[in-house]
């Protein structure tokens, strides 16, 4: 049970990966927001990374945010159940005690949609304004796979929300099929670009050295890691010194596959790590690769671009809103292993293109996906939702 010590119901401080310096629970006259989402220290992934960034931005200067963790990845089945139950009790306690002006629910996909939809319905029972923040890129596909009752339950929760946030234009288009378009706003993912002070010119210093590829993502969840392993096997014919590092949960199946196809000596499996550790791996890498099958607006690609890495990824979800094919990276269609290997090979053999792609990618993120602009957009949306009668 000690493993279940979380932010839930904690009225003294919020734990994040970098341990926020000041409590967001101080008694202030700022509007109060009750936020529900991923556990911020027991979960490594794009959603928790974005929430941590959000809670360290100027958004917390404008609102008093009380955070409840409703899900985590490494608690086990019983631990996850207890976490969810405690989250419900903590939700009711906080609504009654703190009377928040708004309830903010972070939404993923799959079964978590049912749990988070329950919080939306509870919030409406208490007469609260509600913002639902969609992070997943496969919501529409997941709903199609559900029963009629399941679809109605989730759709009803969406209709009860006062505002819905999509992280890309592509995601917004999907949301419009299940919710009122008037409720939907696009607030693209962002990060603190100052945490990535890297120069694209560093590749020139490593010219001729062993090329290092980097993959970041939860394996086994349509991220395309098997395709990448097959591409590495092809690439090793002409690039025998090629190395690749996989960061993320669930690498055991991939490791077995790499042993089977004879490339395990070229592969490093690290597991999920904090943002600070990821930054170290970004600095050492030469090319970032994410041959994913489904995304909304992947934080890993934004991080790679901020770190001045040329990216090879797929044309799914909101990724084309990040990567301009042939300008600041390469886009391929999912499952095309031959094309994936060709694009990576081109970057290996053309260091100047790597530098040019990296510089343009970093510039785009710094101009369009910085945390300051993100905080302004989100703060404006939250105030408008609270004040809208």
- Quote the distance between the C-alpha of residue 372 and its chain's center: 18
Same domain, 113 and 21: yes
Where in the sequence is the domain holding 115, given as residue range(s)?
A: 2-190+370-387
Residue 106's CATH number: 3.40.50.2000
Per-range mean pLDDT, top range of 16-20, 84-88, 127-131 = 127-131
Per-residue pLDDT tens digits for 200-242: 777 655 655 689 999 999 898 789 999 999 999 999 999 999 9
Q: Which residue has the higher pLDDT, 302 or 72?
A: 302
Per-residue pLDDT tens digits for 231-279: 999 999 999 999 999 999 888 899 999 999 999 999 999 999 989 999 9
Structural domain total, the chain: 2
Same domain, 107 and 145: yes
Per-residue pLDDT, 209:
62
Per-residue pLDDT tens digits for 316-345: 999 999 999 999 999 999 999 999 999 999
Average pLDDT estimate for 27-54: 86
Same domain, 63 and 175: yes
Return mean pLDDT, the chain.
88
Angle CA(62)–CA(197)–CA(306) in degrees, nearest 5? 70
Which segments of 104-251 does DSSP mark as H helices, in order? 112-125, 139-144, 148-160, 169-175, 202-205, 225-235
Same domain, 250 and 224: yes
DSSP states of 48-106 as a string? HHHHHHHHTSTHHHHSEEEEEEEE-SSSHHHHHHHHHHHHHHHHHHHHHHH--SEEEEE
Same domain, 128 and 277: no
Per-residue pLDDT, 363:
97
Report the predicted TM-score, pTM, of the whole model to 2 decimal places. Answer: 0.88
Per-residue pLDDT tens digits for 92-148: 999 999 999 999 999 987 778 889 999 999 999 999 999 999 998 777 777 778 888
Same domain, 318 and 381: no
Same domain, 226 and 152: no
């Amino acid at each position: 049970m000690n493993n279940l010590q979380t932010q839930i119901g904690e009225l003294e401080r919020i734990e994040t990966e970098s341990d926020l310096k000041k409590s967001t629970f101080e008694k202030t006259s700022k509007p109060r927001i009750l936020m529900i989402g991923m556990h911020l220290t027991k979960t490594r992934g794009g959603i928790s990374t974005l929430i941590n960034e959000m809670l360290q931005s100027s958004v917390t200067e404008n609102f008093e945010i009380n955070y409840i963790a409703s899900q985590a990845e490494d608690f086990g089945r019983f631990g996850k159940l207890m976490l969810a139950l405690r989250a419900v009790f903590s939700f009711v306690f906080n609504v009654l005690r703190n009377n928040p002006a708004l309830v903010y629910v972070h939404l993923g996909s799959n079964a978590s949609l049912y749990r988070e939809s329950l919080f939306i319905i509870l919030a409406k029972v208490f007469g609260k304004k509600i913002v639902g923040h969609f992070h997943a890129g496969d919501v529409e596909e997941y709903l199609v796979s559900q029963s009629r009752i399941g679809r109605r339950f989730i759709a009803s929760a969406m209709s009860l929300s006062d505002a819905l946030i999509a992280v890309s234009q592509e995601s917004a288009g999907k949301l419009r099929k299940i919710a009122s378009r008037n409720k939907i706003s696009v607030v693209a993912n962002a990060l603190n670009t100052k945490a990535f002070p890297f120069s694209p010119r560093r590749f020139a210093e490593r010219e001729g050295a062993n090329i290092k590829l980097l993959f970041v993502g939860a394996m086994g969840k349509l991220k395309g890691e098997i395709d990448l392993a097959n591409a590495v096997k092809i690439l090793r014919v002409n690039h025998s010194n090629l190395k690749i590092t996989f960061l993320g949960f669930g690498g055991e199946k991939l490791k077995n596959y790499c042993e089977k196809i004879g490339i395990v000596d070229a592969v490093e499996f690290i597991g999920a790590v904090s943002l600070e550790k990821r930054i170290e791996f970004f600095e050492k890498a030469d090319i970032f690769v994410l041959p994913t099958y489904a995304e909304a607006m992947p934080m890993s690609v934004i991080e790679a671009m901020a770190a001045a890495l040329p990216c090879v990824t797929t044309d799914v979800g909101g990724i084309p809103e990040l990567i301009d094919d042939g300008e600041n990276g390469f886009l391929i269609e999912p499952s095309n292993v031959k094309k994936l290997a060709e694009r990576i090979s081109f970057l290996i053999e053309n260091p100047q293109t790597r530098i040019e792609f990296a510089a343009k990618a970093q510039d785009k993120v710094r101009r369009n996906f910085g945390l300051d602009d993100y905080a302004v957009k989100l703060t404006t949306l939250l105030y408008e939702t609270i004040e809208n009668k």
